Structure 1
Amino acid sequence: MSNDESDRGDSDRPPSVADVEPFESEALSGNVPDDLNEAVTAEWKASNTAFQRIHTVLENTYEPKTTAEVADAAATTKPTVRKHVEPLVEAGLVEERDDGRATRYAWSETQRRVNRVADLAERQSAADLDAKVRQAKERIAELRQRYDADTPNDLAESLDSDDGEGWDDLATWRTLKADLKRLQAAQSMADYLADADATAGRRDRSNHA
């Protein structure tokens, strides 16, 4: 076989594992630099104040954390956490729990519900909220009529243990009831914000008259 034929044969042959050079780049090989976490933490500290970091940690805390745990997660000190968490507790945004051994902090469940309502009011138009409220009310009315029950509790008392569809509808009814409360709260919040904006606009125009 000529050298040309040998070269063509080699080029047509798929490469073997031995032919392929291993990656030399740390990024491609999957090795994580030891100082990566330090770099991320340093960037977070540079772009956020201690209060902002503590606020973020607590807002995403569902299991209460001690002062030391919050300080560690927020890349700050325990005295700084105590300084900034106090006004959050006083404002009702953070719940303080003392079990006799340590004081722990977690974001208020009430505030979480308020935040969800505020987010709903911001993301949904007034027309969308109206439509969703109407749909929820209509679905609840259908369940009332189907089971001749005024409330989910009435339905629960009337169901047999093996009535799978009935128990599914009961869960749906309870979900609809909770959703309806949130939607109506979002409507009220949206109306309040619209009135506040209108009042601010009138005040601004009068100041410039």
Structure 2
Amino acid sequence: MGSDHETLDSARDQWKRSTTALERVHQTIEQTTAPKTAGDIAEEALVSEPTARKHLNSLVDIGTATAVEEGTGTKYTRNEDTLLYQRIRDLSTNHSRETLLENVQTMKQQIRDFEDTYDAVSPEELATSLETNPPDGAWEAVAAWQTTERNLHIAQAAINYSRARDLGAATK
């Protein structure tokens, strides 16, 4: 057990030595899906609470993080819109238009298969039709269908983003 603790301490020390406080706060907030206090972020990012708050406020200002006022004070979380934009931009940069179009066609077929298999036009319709004892795998199918729809829209957005970027470059 001691070696696990030593390994974790060593990894934290290495992370602290190889990054700035801002980088650690930024990396921590990117992994944060539920709002957390500056103190919680500070502990995870290995910085003081005032340092975390300073960097979190800067990240809020540039749109990377979101501040949520609650009765107990301000909590911070990642900005989902910024992450979505980054994912779209990364897809458009790292994958060819042809690959993205192939993936779009594959996902459209997967959605048609869900529609045929479950006799529903959307995952929401499937979810509302499920009884108290749904068939095995039905809720997993709802989640998979929702994920496929989301990924389809993201891939389509990446295609459109790439096209808009190319058209913008052509007009310079």
Shift of 1:180: 1.9
Change (3 A) 1:38 1:181: closer
Confirm or deny: 8 A CA contact 1:97 1:105 kept in the other structure.
Answer: yes
- Aligned-pair identity in percent equals 26
Confirm or deny: 8 A CA contact 1:147 1:155 kept in the other structure.
Answer: no
Q: d(CA) in 1 for partners of 2:76 and 2:105? A: 39
Shift of 1:43: 2.8
Shift of 1:118: 2.9
2:43 is matched with: 72
1:180 is matched with: 152
Confirm or deny: 8 A CA contact 2:38 2:56 kept in the other structure.
Answer: no
1:133 is matched with: 104
Confirm or deny: 8 A CA contact 2:60 2:66 kept in the other structure.
Answer: yes
Shift of 1:92: 2.4
Shift of 1:52: 0.6
Q: What RMSD over aligned residues (CA atoms) do the two structures have, in Å?
A: 3.8
Task: Give the structure, 1 or 2, with the largest relative contact order (CA under 8 Å, sep 6 or more).
Answer: 2
Unaligned runs of 5+ in 2: none
Confirm or deny: 8 A CA contact 2:67 2:77 kept in the other structure.
Answer: yes
1:7 is matched with: none
Q: d(CA) in 1 for partners of 2:20 and 2:127? A: 54
Task: Encode CA deviations 1:90-114: one digit per residue, 9 max, x unaligned.
Answer: 2222121222213211112223333
Name the amino acid aligned to 2:62: A
Q: d(CA) in 1 for partners of 2:43 and 2:128? A: 52
Match status 1:152 vs 2:122:
yes
Change (3 A) 1:81 1:136: same
Select 1:192's aligned residue among 148, 164, 168: 164
Name the amino acid aligned to 1:116: R
Alignment of 1:27-42 (within 5 A): 31-32=2-3, 37-42=8-13
Q: d(CA) in 2 for partners of 1:163 and 1:76? A: 48
SS of match in other structure, 2:67: strand
Shift of 1:185: 0.9
Confirm or deny: 8 A CA contact 2:123 2:146 kept in the other structure.
Answer: no
SS of match in other structure, 2:63: coil
1:50 is matched with: 21
Q: d(CA) in 2 for partners of 1:100 and 1:34? A: 36
Shift of 1:195: 4.3
1:112 is matched with: 83
Higher Rg = 1
Change (3 A) 1:80 1:187: same
Unaligned runs of 5+ in 1: 1-29, 204-209
The TM-score with structure 1 as length reference comes to: 0.61
Q: How many aligned positions are there?
A: 170
SS of match in other structure, 2:3: coil
Q: d(CA) in 2 for partners of 1:138 and 1:39? A: 48
1:122 is matched with: 93
Confirm or deny: 8 A CA contact 1:93 1:107 kept in the other structure.
Answer: yes
Name the amino acid aligned to 1:79: P
